[in-house]
């Protein structure tokens, strides 16, 4: 289970939503502050975290991956 996504609300009239999917081994929490600093006021941003699972590319090491 990956847990709840980070949701950064709009600070003006909400007219757009961005769902940001992180890269291999990262988390939604790792990107939340960066997304909050660059998003326009009308946009809500959702930063989910991938479930942790074995990754063949990394010799079966378990990490967040889509």
Tens digits of residue pLDDT in 5-62: 999 999 999 999 999 999 999 999 999 999 999 999 999 999 999 999 999 999 999 9
By CB atoms closer than 10 A (0-12, 13-18, 19+), residue 28 is: buried
Report pTM.
0.89
What residues pair up with 46 in beta bridges, in sequence order? 7, 19
Q: Residue 41: which residues within 8 A CB-CB, separation 6 or more?
A: 10, 11, 12
The reply to whether 56 falls in a domain is no
pLDDT at 3: 80
| Confidence class for position 1, pLDDT limits 50, 70, 90 | low
Domain of residue 14: give its range.
Answer: 6-51
Q: How many domains does the chain have?
A: 1
- 41: in domain: yes
Q: Is residue 57 part of a domain?
A: no
Count of all residues that appear for the chain in the document: 66
Residue 61 lies in a domain: no
């Amino acid at each position: 289970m990956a847990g709840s996504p980070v949701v950064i609300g709009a600070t003006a009239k909400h007219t757009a939503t961005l769902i940001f999917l992180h890269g291999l081994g990262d988390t939604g929490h790792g990107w939340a502050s960066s997304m909050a600093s660059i998003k326009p006021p009308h946009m809500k941003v959702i930063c989910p975290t991938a479930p942790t699972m074995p990754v063949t590319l990394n010799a079966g090491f378990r990490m967040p991956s889509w």
